Amino acid sequence: MKRTEKMEDQAEVSDEALVSAFQSGDTEAFSVLAARSVRMIRQLTARFGGAYPLERDDLLQEGLLGLLFAARTFSFDGGASFATYARRCAENRVLDAVRSGLSRANRVLNTAVPLDGLDASDASGDPEALLELRESVSGLLDAGLSPLEQRVLRLYLGGLKRQDAARAAGVPLGAYDNALARARRKLKR
């Protein structure tokens, strides 16, 4: 049976039957569940749009991960319908993501300034593009940044993890985060 025929057959099946098929190893059953649930998840995430650090697509993805958890862990003897259980799991996953995004530990990430156009992978084969990239980065670094802020920004743009970059800069992690935040604020102006 072709995949499209199988998907059409599953479109008429109940959520609980799809969950049972998914728990038995049919991954296409989850595709149908996800397609059915996207609207519900979008409604859950709509109340968080714009005012929170995560983008809508990120929240939608978190909701889909909650749906996946629900499909894996749903118990048929629990008394609740799958739709009720899935909604609760998706909502909890989205709320956890929002709380995590608002936490103090993620403050530096949430106030990040996108550095679009500074992706070295775009210039990897073209020496002229690489030179232009290097000049634009040098221009950014000369924008009133202190030597520490310049060093931290270079390490950040180099792709190092926070702990490794702080170690390479020779400063504690908190000082690294603060210097990077200051550099971003200055660049934003």
Can 3-102 and 109-188 be said to share one CATH topology?
no
Domain 109-188 falls in which CATH fold? Arc Repressor Mutant, subunit A (1.10.10)
Q: What is the percentage of the chain residues whose pLDDT exceeds 90? A: 14
3 state SS for 80-130: CCHHHHHHHHHHHHHHHHHHHHHCHHHHHHHCCCCCCCCCHHHHCCCHHHH
- Note the pTM of the prediction, 2 decimals: 0.52
pLDDT of res. 185:
81
Spell 116-143 as b/e; 16+ CB within 10 A means b: eeeeeeebeeeeeeeeebeeebeebbee
pLDDT digits (tens, 9 = 90+) for 120-167: 454 455 666 666 666 665 555 556 788 888 888 878 877 778 888 888
pLDDT at 167: 87
Topology classification of domain 3-102: Rna Polymerase Sigma Factor; Chain: A (1.10.1740)
- Domain segments of the chain: what residues? 3-102, 109-188
CA of residue 29 relative to chain centroid, distance? 25
Q: How far apart are CA 160 and CA 182, in angstroms?
A: 18
Contacts of 18 (CB under 8 A, 6+ apart): 10, 29, 30, 32, 33
Question: DSSP letter at 158?
Answer: T
Statement: residue 18 has pLDDT above 70: yes
Which contacts of 16-19 are long-range, i.e. CB under 8 A and separated by 24 or more positions?
Answer: 16/76, 16/81, 16/82, 19/71, 19/74, 19/82
* pLDDT at residue 77 tops 60: yes
Q: Which residue has the higher pLDDT, 44 or 126?
A: 44
Q: Which of 60-64, 81-85, 183-187 has the lowest mean pLDDT?
A: 183-187
